[in-house]
Amino acid sequence: MDGTLKENDLSGVVAADKAHVWHHLVSHKGFETTDPKIIVEGKGLRVWDQNGKEHLDAVSGAVWTVNVGYGRTRIADAIRDQLVQLNYFAGAMGSIPGARFAERLIEKMPGLSRVYYCNSGSEANEKAFKMVRQIAHKRYGGKKHKILYRDRDYHGTTIGCLSAGGQQERNAQYGPFAPGFVEVPHCLEYRAADQGWGDLSGEAYGQRAADAIEEVILREGPDTVGALCLEPVTAGGGVITPPQGYWERVQEICRKYDILLHIDEVVCGVGRTGNWFGYQNYGVKPDMVTMAKGVASGYAAIACLVTTDEVFDLFKTDADDPMDYFRDISTFGGCTAGPAAALENMAIIEEEGLLENTTAMGERLQENLRALAEKHAVIGDVRGAGLFCGAELVADRASKEPVSEALVKAVTGDCMAQGVIIGATNRSVPGYNNTLCFAPPLIASADDIDEITGAVDAALTRVFG
Ligand code: PMP
């Protein structure tokens, strides 16, 4: 496919963008000397820019969102049909796609039963934090209100979510933050030596990292801790997959101290790791799950907070206490395009066997990256789950000293020049940075995977020799 660029009026687009768009995640200084890339069109896992150049998108729309790939007319048609019928209604009233998608979603999440709609991952996490706080007020006189989060995890962009954010590089300059959020140590086995727990690996390390959570709970007082919020696989913090045994111990600790387990599936949810949800890889039973990106693959803005009946029932209003329910609304949680798109998105994943493909292609991606590590000493560690993989770059394998940010940019830039878009996580944090990140759409074929790693091979050779 060569795109339909000829039919697009691109005159003045770059100038308008340069003059008026404030882009995400970037300092605009660079645009004084280079033009921003305008992505004009997408099909499958390929996108075309303003110059007609084709790119293989190995990061699903920059931030791991377009799980079913670009150009799905079936989703667009479903959205259109729904919008002309009913585009919106919020509050206590429902919609057909809202009810149908909630039912389908819950089928995939045994043990959970209620879906609360909103429109971004940050918002879904805020809702969960609010529920924890309200439960503390309802049941524990406000005392059991603290929310634990993990070093290196990210839960969103609002001040509340940044208060639960374990990536210092994102938080710097945005404080002061909300009180009642407490950090627990990360679980990155590759850098276990930095944590002062001795020479641990595998399950023993996972147990130790989970025990460290219990230590924080005991230090804070279990009667003050309401919830633990974790990503199943830490995404932007460095693609961190926990070792065997970690999650079992985490679950045990939460049960022991009556602490709600909130899993942030904003990245891992809806297929990314080869299961519907990342937590399902580890047999965990969460009390609250939040999701966003892959729910409708970016065809519409939709996020969900899903809870158990136990949580939901706490918010049923007693007749004598009319203020006791969840006093929250999301205006755009009433947009029907989201659930209409999400229904089709889920159907596509099922009909095309994308969970199975994700597992198989994820294995291939990791194998290819491991083969590259044999050849390029700069690859210190390869990790991941399904089609979410990272390759950490180190200047020296023994010391694990990270390579410079400039060199990581040289690698991602070289891949971009070759027509393959890859990512890199947390480039500015000494000690944990410089992880190349791969999260192609779940439709990736073996050839696509080989094309991605082939580009990385060539880039590493050019940058590091
Ligand atoms: N949680 C995680 C794990 C994320 O990676 C992100 C976004 N990258 C968010 C929450 C926030 O989602 P959103 O940008 O939709 O607010």
Q: What is the DSSP string of 230-293?
A: E-SSB-TTT-BPPPTTHHHHHHHHHHHTT-EEEEE-TTTTTTTTSSSSGGGGTT---SEEEE-G
Q: To test ligand 1's pocket by mutation, which of 162, 267, 426 has the most ligand atoms within 8 angstroms of CB?
A: 267
CB of 267 closer than 6 angstroms to any ligand 1 atom = yes
pLDDT tens profile 224-239: 999 999 999 999 999 9
CA of 122 to the centre of ligand 1 (A): 6
Predicted confidence at residue 430, as pLDDT, reads 62
CB of 264 closer than 6 angstroms to any ligand 1 atom = yes
CA of 355 to the centre of ligand 1 (A): 22
Is the interface score ipTM higher than 0.90?
Answer: yes
Sequence-distant (6+) residues with CB within 8 A of 17 are 36, 38
For ligand 1, what atom is nearest to the CA of residue 234?
3
> What length does the chain have?
465
pLDDT over 90, % of the chain: 89
And the tokens for 60? 């699903």
Measured distance CA(363)–CA(371) in Å, rounded? 12
Q: Higher-confidence residue: 7 or 27?
A: 27
Q: Which has the closest alpha carbon to 63: 399, 441, 328?
A: 441
CB of 162 closer than 6 angstroms to any ligand 1 atom = no
pLDDT tens profile 131-175: 999 999 999 999 999 999 999 999 999 999 999 999 988 898 999
pLDDT tens profile 251-277: 999 999 999 999 999 999 999 999 999
Q: To test ligand 1's pocket by mutation, which of 122, 152, 291, 330 has the most ligand atoms within 8 angstroms of CB?
A: 122
- Nearest-CA residue for ligand 1 atom 5 is 267
The stretch 279-295 carries a mean pLDDT of 97
Measured distance CA(235)–CA(384) in Å, rounded? 9
Predicted confidence at residue 433, as pLDDT, reads 65
CA of 161 to the centre of ligand 1 (A): 9
Between 179-183, 192-196, 200-204, 387-391, the lowest mean confidence (pLDDT) is in: 192-196
The stretch 382-403 carries a mean pLDDT of 95
CA of 130 to the centre of ligand 1 (A): 17
CB of 157 closer than 6 angstroms to any ligand 1 atom = yes
Predicted confidence at residue 462, as pLDDT, reads 98
Measured distance CA(331)–CA(164) in Å, rounded? 24
- Scored b (16 or more CB within 10 A) or e, 45-69 reads bbbbbbeeeebbbbbbbebbbbbbb
DSSP designation for 52: -
Q: What one-character-per-residue DSSP string does 127-154 give?
A: HHHHHHHHHHHHHHTT-S-EEEEETT--
Average confidence score pLDDT of the chain: 95
Task: Check whether 313 has a pLDDT greater than 50.
Answer: yes
The stretch 293-299 carries a mean pLDDT of 98
CA of 266 to the centre of ligand 1 (A): 6
CB of 433 closer than 6 angstroms to any ligand 1 atom = no
The stretch 311-322 carries a mean pLDDT of 80
pLDDT over 70, % of the chain: 96
For ligand 1, what atom is nearest to the CA of residue 153?
3
Q: What one-character-per-residue DSSP string does 390-456 give?
A: EEEEEEETTTTEEPPHHHHHHHHHHHHHTTEE-EEE-TT-TTT--EEEE---TT--HHHHHHHHHHH
Predicted confidence at residue 1, as pLDDT, reads 47
Measuring CA to CA, how many Å separate 262 from each of 210, 232, 302, 328? Answer: 15, 10, 19, 18
Query: How does strand 423-425 pair with strand 420-421?
Result: unpaired
Assessment of whether the complete model's pTM goes beyond 0.90: yes
H or E segment to which residue 96 belongs? helix 96-107
Task: Check whether 383 has a pLDDT greater than 80.
Answer: yes
And the tokens for 72? 């799905």
Q: Which residue has the tokens 């992880």?
A: 435
H or E segment to which residue 459 belongs? helix 446-464
And the tokens for 57? 């998108």
- Domains of the chain from N-terminus onward: 5-66+353-464 (3.90.1150.10), 74-351 (3.40.640.10)
CB of 384 closer than 6 angstroms to any ligand 1 atom = no
Do residues 265 and 216 lie in contact, with contact meaning Cβ atoms separated by under 8 Å?
A: no
